[in-house]
Every structure is written in structure tokens, then in C-alpha cells.
Amino acid sequence: MTLEDLRTDIDKIDGRILSLLGERMEKAVLTRKLKKDTLDSGRETAVLDKVSRASRGILEAGFSSDLYRSIMAESKRLQEKGLRTMGFQGEHGAYGEAAASAWAPDAAMIPCREFSDVFDAVEEGLHDLGIVPVENTLGGLVGPVNTILLHTGLRIVGAVDMPISHCLLCLPGADHRELRSVWSHSQALAQCKQFLARNRLEPVSEYDTAGAAKRLAAERPKGVAAIASRLAAEIYGLEIIKEDIQDASVNRTRFFILARRDESGDGEKCSAVFTAGDKAGALFRVLEVFADASINLTRIESVPDRPGEYAIFIDFEGSEKDPEVSAAITRAASLSEGFRILGCYREKRL
């Protein structure tokens, strides 16, 4: 083993340490929502005792205790800031995190494994906000999210529409001519299908784009690349071989911001869901209400609900506080089943 090999190993260890420190701070911020005060002397003493006993070999107990005193001091500092927390699906570096940062740059971004975990954490009050993708110009509807929206009690309090630029990432110094397979989320792989075929790269599905980049950086397999964001490349120390590898020049994803209650202020767009029923022309009559009121519909999608029945999602411009919009909502509700406004909000286009 050479000096360079040892330094490479140290760099990898440092990366894991920083990642775990970040995760620990996120958990500390979340615990603030479940306790009355940031100071818990008994807990701190217990942690320091455990750390001291767990110190082994050349790691001295005094060093470990001092290190953890600094860690706990930083945890308390973050807790006292009263940060809002915002959940997103995936690992740090996910496109959802980028969209979340554009909406609430001062919030603490917390990764969630599944879309359902985002909804659950907001419903339980663990996160103040959540962000989920609802549609993509290439991949269409994000089915699992729209299905959950049918039954959640959460409110849509905002939306972010942002361009998605997929990057081919590899380990530093890797020879791109030796690449044989690519890890990424199934939607990202589908959006880059032509690029992968041209370069004879085998797609391998992962649960998340940034998760694929994180795994690549940790396991360091030969002949493997990942498709993820530029942010993921920066976080996990990967090299960008090529940017904008998606098959279409226009690739955008729209995200909804979720909260337990409506936020103050007037919205500029509304989202609603309803069932048209089995009467002939029922859907047309609902849509006709908005057309007659000169209200612009920006989204019309159907999602399977109960067997043989479809729920209809619509987005339309305007505020529910506007008398004409309010009247159209009332009329549409009378012509459909289960008409429900999911939120009236502002939308940010990046």
C-alpha cells in the first residue's frame, strides 16, 4: 500500500464522517420538535459516558469526549435557530432538494426514503413542509404521488417548475471508455434511453438519482457510472463526463409544496380533484364551467382510484378568493362527485 493509497482511504473516510455528521445534525433539528427545551443535561451526560466507554485503541476517551461536546454544542445551536424542516424523497443532491432550496432556501432539507414518507412526516408534524414531484414533460405523471394526493389531508401551498439536466457521473480519474453500466432512478434512465443506447451502456435501476451517485462514491465499482444532478456530483465528489444527456431538450419537472395548513397570502393558481361519475358528458360539463368563466385550465389528468373509477386532477389560474373563481368552483362541485380544492398557491418557475 502506497502513501497515495492511504490518503485515498482517508479521503473516503472523511467523506463518510462528514455525511454522518450532517445526518446527525438533521436528526438533532428534528428532535427539537419533540421536546420542550434544547437543554437536556441528562441526555448529554449519557452520550458523553457512552462515547468515553466506546473509545478503543489509539482513540483516547478525552479526545472523543471533547469532540462530542463540540458536536452537541453545534446541535443545540441549530435547534435554537428554530429552522423549518422540509422533507424530500431521495438522498442529498436529489432534484427534489434543488427545487426545495429554490422555494425555502433557509429551511433544513431532510431526506426521506419514499414519497409516502414525505407525506407521513408532514402529517405527523415532524416536517413543516414537504416537496414531491407530480409531473415531468418526458415521463408524464408521477403515479405514486398523485395516488397519495387523492387521499391526503395535506394542503398544496406552493409549486416549483424547474428544468432537469441529467449528468453522466463517474469516479475521479475513471476511464470513460471502460464504462459498461449506469445506475440511476428508472425515470432518469428512461429519459436518457437514446444516450444509453448510443453508448452501449446498460441501465441499472436505483431508488433515487442522488442515491445512485452516493452509492457509486461509496462502493467505487469499476466500469460503472451514475446519472444524477450537478449538485450530486459536487456533494459526492464525482466527475461530470457529460451534461444534458436527456433525450429531449425540454425536460422539466413540476413539484408541489405540501403543508398541514394553508399559508397566508393570496394564491395565483388552484389545484382540485374530483370524480366525474358515470354520467355521459359529466367531465365535459365540469370543464365547461371553467371555460364559460374564462378561467384557464393548466392541467387535466386522470388517475385510477377505485375499480372502474378515475379521479380527475385539474389546475387552473386564479385565486379562490376571487368571486368569479369561487362561483365556478361551487358550480363545478355541484356537477361532480367529491370535488375538493387541494390548495391555492403561488408557483415558481425556474
Dist. CA 178–CA 222, nearest whole Å:
8
The answer for 277, left when phi > 0, alpha when psi is -120 to 50, beta otherwise, is left
Q: Is 255 a catalytic residue?
A: yes
The single residue of 115, 119, 255, 313 carrying the catalytic annotation is 255
The single residue of 253, 256, 274, 275 carrying the catalytic annotation is 253
Q: How many CB atoms are closer than 10 A to CB 58?
A: 6
Q: How far apart are the first and last CA of the chain?
A: 48
User: Which residue type, as a one-letter code, is found at position 142?
Assistant: V
Place of cell 449528468: 167
Helices 282-292 and 323-334, interaxial angle, to 10°?
170
Dist. CA 167–CA 188, nearest whole Å:
10
Cα 118–Cα 121–Cα 126 angle in degrees, nearest 5: 135
Q: Is 115 a catalytic residue?
A: no
Helices 209-219 and 3-31, interaxial angle, to 10°?
140
Show which residues are catalytic.
253, 255
